[in-house]
């Protein structure tokens, strides 16, 4: 009973009280060491620092910095303008552009909130001016931005690869089709919505406009080619790719487009360091929590209890999806992955689910959690950027929650979608 209180009840109470997630985890770990686990307190400091001594984790701060440079250095704007030029003359084309731009920028910036801000600022005024009501526009932007959690190279997948001891490149490869499927489903829905609501047609795509925007955005678009081409081509590891992304984005913004100078770069670095420190605090605290949880024997007991229920694999996966959706609406993806992976991975492996496939299931769940009421982080980012009442945002995301939950079930129960590019 003491272990249950320390591992689960205490952090739940602290979360309800509004404590920051890193403080929740650290307080819980200290309470466990003092009152439950037979572990010397001196080991806490050692484990906290050693938890960050992990080469793949270097990708996280580099990708965050690269994303900030892209968002504030003109790369995001050029990519969005390029996507707009490609999609035109179709009812709903502006909403489809929002989905497509989120996919492209999410693959470059690797942050859901950053995608909401960068793409939303560009397209929200146009959505409003072209017949989309506020509720739909904010719902579309909040949900589309979450694709950054799934589309490779994803920070969430990097953290899962560290926690589950799986290949990051394999996870990136497995995430390609699910992320495109989510975008396709969203695009079909918004086109149907635009037809029902008789949203006005936008101007048709013109070759001269496409050529001009492509030429203007060529250096920006090449960012994703450099990153993914280098990873899949075996030129560099995902961690090295993150460093290359920083150097390349700096070159494009400071040398090619000359939109970022030393003063702007310093501001970008400051905002990035603040975000990086938050995530790494969560990473090290969650790593300690996961270690204490694993050594406590609770996951093994849970496996035994679940096996005693004789749930079929589909029933277990449905239960885990619901748990992940709930947790994803309270926790940021890095924290949720690091806390829940050691707990849930043994359960699904026991019924024959591939760890790579489960990583994609987790990523899709947590991406949906980013805009699940009441506490999805994208909801608050959208509210802060557009000053829209949260009630409107909640109602706006409901259709996207429904269609993407259906897509999640398809990805969960059809492993082929995730595994085919791996040859499995």
Q: Residue 233: what pLDDT?
A: 78
Domain membership flag for residue 241: yes
Domain membership flag for residue 397: yes
Structure tokens, 421 = 């590019």
Domain membership flag for residue 244: yes
Q: Of 400, 391, 409, nearest to 368 (Cα)?
A: 400
Q: Residue 346: what pLDDT?
A: 86
Structural contact between residues 397 and 135, judged by C-beta atoms closer than 8 angstroms:
no
Cis peptide before 6 (omega within 30 of 0): no
Structural contact between residues 321 and 408, judged by C-beta atoms closer than 8 angstroms:
yes
Q: Residue 155: what pLDDT?
A: 83
How many domains is the chain partitioned into structurally? 1
Q: Residue 362: what pLDDT?
A: 93
- The angle, 0 to 180 degrees and rounded to 10, between the axes of the packed helices 207-232 and 238-250 is 140
Q: Residue 299: what pLDDT?
A: 63
Domain that holds residue 134: 56-260+297-422
- Nearest-angstrom CA–CA distance, 320 and 318: 5
Domain membership flag for residue 26: no
Q: Residue 185: what pLDDT?
A: 94
Domain membership flag for residue 274: no
Q: Residue 88: what pLDDT?
A: 64
Structural contact between residues 68 and 276, judged by C-beta atoms closer than 8 angstroms:
no
pLDDT under 70 in the chain at which residues? 1, 50-51, 53-56, 88-89, 109, 201-205, 294, 299-300, 302-303, 306-307
Domain membership flag for residue 290: no
- Nearest-angstrom CA–CA distance, 153 and 120: 21
């Amino acid at each position: 009973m003491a272990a249950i209180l320390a591992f689960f009840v205490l952090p739940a109470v602290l979360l309800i009280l509004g404590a920051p997630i890193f403080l929740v985890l650290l307080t819980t770990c200290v309470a466990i060491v003092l009152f439950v686990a037979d572990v010397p307190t001196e080991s806490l400091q050692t484990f906290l620092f050693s938890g960050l001594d992990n080469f793949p984790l270097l990708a996280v701060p580099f990708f965050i910095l690269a994303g900030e440079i892209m968002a504030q250095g003109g790369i995001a704007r050029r990519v969005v303008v390029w996507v707009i030029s490609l999609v035109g003359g179709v009812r709903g084309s502006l909403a489809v552009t929002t989905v497509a731009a989120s996919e492209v920028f999410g693959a470059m910036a690797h942050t859901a909130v950053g995608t909401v801000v960068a793409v939303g600022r560009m397209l929200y005024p146009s959505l409003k001016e072209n017949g989309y009501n506020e509720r739909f526009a904010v719902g579309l932007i909040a949900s589309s931005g979450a694709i950054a959690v799934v589309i490779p190279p994803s920070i969430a997948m990097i953290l899962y690869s560290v926690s589950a001891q799986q290949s990051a490149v394999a996870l990136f490869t497995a995430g390609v089709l699910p992320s495109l499927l989510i975008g396709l489903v969203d695009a079909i829905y918004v086109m149907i919505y635009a037809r029902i609501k008789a949203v006005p047609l936008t101007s048709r795509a013109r070759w001269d406009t496409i050529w001009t925007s492509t030429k203007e955005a060529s250096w920006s678009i090449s960012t994703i080619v450099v990153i993914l081409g280098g990873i899949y081509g075996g030129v560099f590891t995902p961690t090295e790719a993150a460093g290359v992304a920083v150097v390349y984005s700096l070159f494009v913004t400071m040398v090619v487009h000359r939109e970022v100078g030393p003063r702007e770069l310093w501001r970008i670095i400051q905002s990035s360091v603040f975000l990086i420190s938050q995530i790494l605090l969560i990473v090290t605290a969650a790593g300690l929590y996961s270690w204490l949880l694993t050594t406590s024997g609770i996951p093994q007991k849970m496996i035994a209890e679940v096996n005693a229920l004789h749930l079929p694999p589909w029933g277990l996966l449905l239960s885990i999806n619901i748990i992940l959706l709930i947790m994803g609406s309270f926790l940021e993806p890095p924290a949720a992955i690091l806390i829940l992976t050691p707990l849930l991975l043994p359960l699904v492996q026991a019924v024959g689910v591939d760890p790579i496939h489960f990583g994609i299931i987790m990523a899709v769940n947590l991406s949906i959690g980013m805009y699940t009421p009441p506490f999805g982080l994208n909801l608050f980012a959208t509210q802060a950027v557009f000053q829209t009442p949260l009630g409107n945002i909640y109602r706006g995301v409901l259709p996207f929650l429904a269609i993407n939950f259906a897509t999640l079930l398809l990805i969960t129960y059809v492993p082929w979608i995730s595994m085919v590019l791996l040859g499995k």
